[in-house]
Chain A
Amino acid sequence: MNQPLSASPHAHAPVSIGRMMALVIMALLPATLFGLYQFGWPAIFLFTVTVGATVGCEALALIVAGKPVRVTLMDGSALLTGWLLALTLPPWAPWWVGVVGGALAVLLGKQVFGGIGQNLFNPAMVARVTLLISFPLEMTRWVMPQPMFSGDAPGFLEGIAITFGGQTYDAFTGASILGHVRTELGRGEHLDAALSGIFDPLSALLGTVPGSLGETSAVLLAAGGLWLIARRVIGWEIPGALVGTIALLATAMHLIDPAHYAPAPFHILAGGTMLAAFFIATDPVTSPVSRQGQLLFGAGVGLLIYVIRTWGGYPEGVAFAVLLMNAATPMIDHYLKPRIYGRDRRGKPLEYPELSPKGSER
C-alpha cells in the first residue's frame, strides 16, 4: 500500500503509448490492406520483410544497449515505423531494400539518438531518403496496380521470385503520376496533355493508380486520419495546415499559369500527401508541441512539398519536406510557446490598470 512513495495524481486516464500506436496502426489498416490487394504477393512479401527487419533491428539494438527488450518492443513504435516505411516503398522493390530501410530507420533514425522520444528526425523518412539517394533505380521503379487474383497478377511463387529472386517485371512497369507529369512538363508539354490519360481524380482518390505501397488510396488514408483526429490521437493542426498550404499554393500557381502548374486536387490526391498529412508529419516526437508551432510546422511541410515537386530536382518532395521541418522543430518550440495563464504573450504578469489597489502598500 502506497509503496513506493509517489506524488499525485493517484488516478490516471486509461491511456498508454502502446494503445496510441495500436490506434494509429488501426487507422492505417484500410489503406494498407487496399495497397496489398492492389499490388499483390510481391507487395505482401516486401511489407512483411520490412516490418520484420525493423522490429528485429530494434530488438538487436535494445539487447546491445542492455535495455529491457520485451517491454520496449511492446510499445509498438518500431512496428509503426516499419509499417510506415513499408507503405512508402515501391511495392515490388527487392527484399533487401526493405531490410536496409528497416535497419536504417531504427538504428540510424532512432536508437543512436537514445531510443524513443530522443530522435530529431522522423525515422521512416530518414530511411526513405537514404534509400532514395543510395538506390535511385530500385526506389523509382513503379508498377501499374495488379489486383490480386486478377488476370496478370503474379501468383505466390512469382511473387517470391520478384521480391527475393530479383526477377524483372518490365511488362508491368509504369510511371507514377507525379513522375510522369514532371517528365512531360519538363519536356515542354502543356499541363492538360501531361495530365490526360494518367490523372483521373476519382482513380487517384480511390487508389487504383501506380504509386508507393500504401499512399495511393487518398480516401482510405483520409478516413483513417480523420478517425484518429476524432479519437484525439493526433490534432487537426498539422494535417489541416499541410493540406491547406498545398491547396493554397497549387490553386494560386494554377490560376497564374494553368498551362504549367497543376491544380490543387492533383497535388493533394497524387503522391504521398495524404499519408504525410495524417501519419508522417504528425509523428509526435519530431513535431512541435504547441498549437501555433504545429500550424507553422504543417504549413512549412506543405510549402516545401509543393516547392520541391514543382521546382526541385525530385518529382516527390514529402520525405525531404518532413526532414527539413523536423530540423526546424526545436527552434519552433523555443519561440512559439503557449501563453502562460496570468501573463501576457511576452511573459509579464497581466495588469489591470482600472482595478488599482487601495493605499500605497503595493
Chain B
Amino acid sequence: MIAAIFSLTALGLGLGALLGIAARYLAVAESPIVGQVEELLPGSQCGQCGYPGCGPAAAALAAGEAPVTLCPPGGRALAESLASLLGVSVDLSGMAEQAPKVAHIHERLCIGCTRCFKRCPTDAIIGANDQIHAVFEDACTGCGKCVDDCPTECIELRAPTQTLTNWVWPVPEAA
C-alpha cells in the first residue's frame, strides 16, 4: 500500500510539473486583435452599440467586455465573423429576429430639407434642397441617424425591399 501511495504521488507531482512547464513555455502569444476587430465593424460610428464609435467598441470586444452581438447594422454576419476572430462561441438563435433594416423615406411627407443626407455616414441618401430625397438600399446600414434628424418623421427603418435577387427559400417546417 505504501508503494501505491508513493507511486501515485510521484505521478501527480511529475505530471503537474510537466503541465506547469508547458503553460509557461508553450503558451500562445496574444496578438494585436483590436485592429482586426475594428476592421470588421461597419465604421459608420452610429453608436447603437452603446459605445461612442466603432473604435471604443472594438477595444471593448477585444477586452471581452462586450458581446459579439452588439452591432445591429452588422447583423448576424458580423456577429459570426467576430465570434470566429475572437474565438468565442455564441448562440446566435436570438439574432435571427434582428433582420437587417434599411431606411425608407415616405416621399409624401418629405419636405426636401437636406438634413438627413448630410447626416448619413455612408452617403446613402440622394437628394438636394427642395427635392424629394430617396435612400439607396445597397448603401444603407440601418444606423438610424437620419431617422433622428428628420423634422417631418418621414423616415422609417424597415426590412429591405425583396427582389428576385435577394429572395431566399424559407426553411421547411420541422416535422
Q: With the chains together, A6 CA to B172 CA distance in Å?
A: 8
Q: Which chain A positions have C-beta within 8 A of B172?
A: 6-7
Q: How far is the CA of A5 from the CA of B170 in the complex (A)?
A: 9
- Nearest-CB residue, chain B, relative to A6: B172
Q: Interface 1/0s, chain A 1-35, versus B by CB < 8 A?
A: 00001110000000000000000000000000000
B contact residues around A6 at 8 Å (CB): 172
Q: In whole angstroms, what is the CA distance A7 to B167 when docked?
A: 14
- Closest partner residue, chain B, to A116 (CB atom): B175
Prevailing SS type, chain B contact patch: loop
**Closest B-chain residue to A117, C-beta based?**
B175
Nearest Cβ on chain A to B71's Cβ, whole angstroms: 32
> B150-175, CB under 8 A of A: which get 1 and which 0?
00000000000000000001101000
Interface residues of A, dominant DSSP: loop
Residues of A within 8 A of B170 (CB): 5
The smallest beta-carbon distance between B175 and chain A, in angstroms, is 9
A7 to B172, CA, bound (A): 9
Contact size range, A: under 10
A299 → chain B closest CB, angstroms: 33
B124: min CB distance to chain A, Å: 32
CA distance A6 to B169 in the complex (A): 9
| Cα–Cα, bound, A6→B170 (Å) | 9
In the complex, A5→B172 CA distance in Å?
9
B88 to chain A, nearest CB (A): 25
Using CB atoms, name the residue of chain A closest to B170. Answer: A5
- A7–B168 Cα distance when bound, in Å, is 11
CB distance from B164 to the nearest CB of A (A): 15
> A299 vs B149: C-alpha distance in the bound complex, in angstroms?
73
Cβ of B169: which chain A residues have Cβ within 8 Å of it?
A: 7
B21 to chain A, nearest CB (A): 33
**Which residues of B (12-42) have their CB < 8 Å from a CB of A?**
none
* Chain B hits for A5, CB < 8 A: 170
Distance (whole angstroms) from the CB of A110 to the closest CB of chain B:
16
Please give me the residue from chain A that is nearest to B175 by CB atom: A117
CA distance A219 to B140 in the complex (A): 73
Give, as a whole number of angstroms, the nearest-CB distance from A10 to chain B.
14
- A65 CB, nearest partner CB in chain B, Å: 14
User: Of residues 117 to 175 in B, which have CB atoms within 8 Å of A's CB atoms?
Assistant: 169-170, 172
Using CB atoms, name the residue of chain B closest to A5.
Answer: B170
Question: Smallest distance from the beta carbon of A41 to chain B beta carbons, Å?
Answer: 41
Nearest CB in chain B to that of A4: its residue = B173
Q: Which residues of B contact A7 (CB under 8 A)?
A: 169, 172
How far, in angstroms, from A5 to B168 measured CA to CA in the complex? 12
Rounded to whole Å, the gap between the CB of B168 and the closest CB of chain A is 11
Q: In the assembly, what is the distance between CA of A6 and CA of B171, in Å?
A: 10
Q: How far is B170's CA from A226's CA once the two chains are assembled, in angstroms? A: 42
- How far apart sit A7 and B170, CA to CA, in the bound complex (Å)? 10
Complex formed: what's the CA distance from A7 to B169 in Å? 8
A5 to B169, CA, bound (A): 9
Can you name the residue of chain A whose Cβ is closest to the Cβ of B169? Answer: A7
Closest Cβ of chain A to B49, distance in Å, is 36
Against B, the Cβ 8 Å flags (1 = close, 0 = not) of A240-272 are 000000000000000000000000000000000
* Complex alpha-carbon distance, A63 and B169, angstroms: 33
Shortest CB–CB separation between residue A116 and chain B, in angstroms? 10
Kindly provide the distance from the CB of A8 to the nearest chain B CB, expressed in whole angstroms.
Answer: 10
Complexed CA–CA distance, A40 and B172 (Å):
50
Docked pose: A141 CA to B63 CA in angstroms: 68
Least distance between A117 CB and chain B CB atoms (Å): 9
Whole-angstrom distance between the Cβ of A77 and the nearest chain B Cβ: 14
CB-defined interface of A104-146 with B at 8 Å, one 1/0 digit per residue? 0000000000000000000000000000000000000000000
B81 to chain A, nearest CB (A): 25
Q: How far apart sit A256 and B169, CA to CA, in the bound complex (Å)?
A: 63
Binding site for A on B (CB under 8 A): 169-170, 172
User: Which residues of A are interface residues toward B (Cβ below 8 A)?
Assistant: 5-7
Which 4 residue pairs across A and B have the least CB separation, nearest first? A7-B169, A5-B170, A6-B172, A7-B172
4 A-B interface contacts by CB (under 8 A):
A5-B170, A6-B172, A7-B169, A7-B172
